[in-house]
Amino acid sequence: MLDALREIHDFLPCRTPERWIQNALAAQDVMLIDHAHCEKKAASTALSLMYRYVDNPDLLNKMSRLAREELRHFEQVLAIMGQRGVTYGHLTPARYAAGLREPVRTEDPDKLVDVLIVGAIIEARSCERFAALAPHLDNTLADFYQGLLKSEARHYQDYLKLAEDAAGEPVAGRVAVFLERERRLIEESDTVFRFHSGPVG
């Protein structure tokens, strides 16, 4: 697992700011609610790709597995919230996902390549944040987040491999475009705390 985390640290353009970690520790109810939303959105994204690209067997298999895992994680977050008396409800989304998707091209296969790259970056950042948070959390939540690292790291790798397959060539140039945008979204101050927001305050 350490090798996978090291690979993700090498891939991402920056680490999570310490101020964001403090934001998260001060708002753990919001962190859990938004984490649940993130797992549900990840499953929805995987299913959407399955519906759109029915002629891509490798994508269908990987996204089917990913959707099942993300929904299981969603159920696990809800269970932890229930144990802590945290009510699941609506939250306004962070600017992160929409901001990351702005450079996505509009025509396939370029669109698919870009969507898959965005998926890889989101999964990598989730993994990095679980690892960053775990040492600061109570044992139950720390164990849960540590347990998510392996699957999130694999999801990142799956998305990146699918992007290269869709492009038919290395995608480092496109990845660099999205990583630079991701760095700004992670490092610049945000107005509201979310699991993928920048630091607040």
Mean pLDDT, all residues of the chain: 96
Does a structural domain hold residue 157? yes
Position 138 scores a pLDDT of 96
Does a structural domain hold residue 146? yes
Answer yes or no: is pLDDT of 2 > 80. no
For 107-157, what is each residue's pLDDT tens digit?
999 999 999 999 999 999 999 999 999 999 999 999 999 999 888 889 999
Residues sharing a CB contact under 8 Å with residue 183, sequence separation 6 or more, in sequence order: 13, 14
- Please list the residues that pair with 190 across neighbouring strands: 200
Residues sharing a CB contact under 8 Å with residue 4, sequence separation 6 or more, in sequence order: 127, 149, 150, 153, 154
Does a structural domain hold residue 194? no
Q: Which domain covers residue 169, as residue numbers?
A: 2-8+18-87+106-187
Does a structural domain hold residue 48? yes
Say how many domains are in the chain: 1
Answer yes or no: is pLDDT of 1 > 70. no
* Structure-token match 């939303």, residue found: 37
What CATH number corresponds to the domain at position 43?
1.20.1260.10
Does a structural domain hold residue 101? no
Query: Could you tell me the pLDDT band of residue 49, with boundaries at 50, 70 and 90?
Result: very high
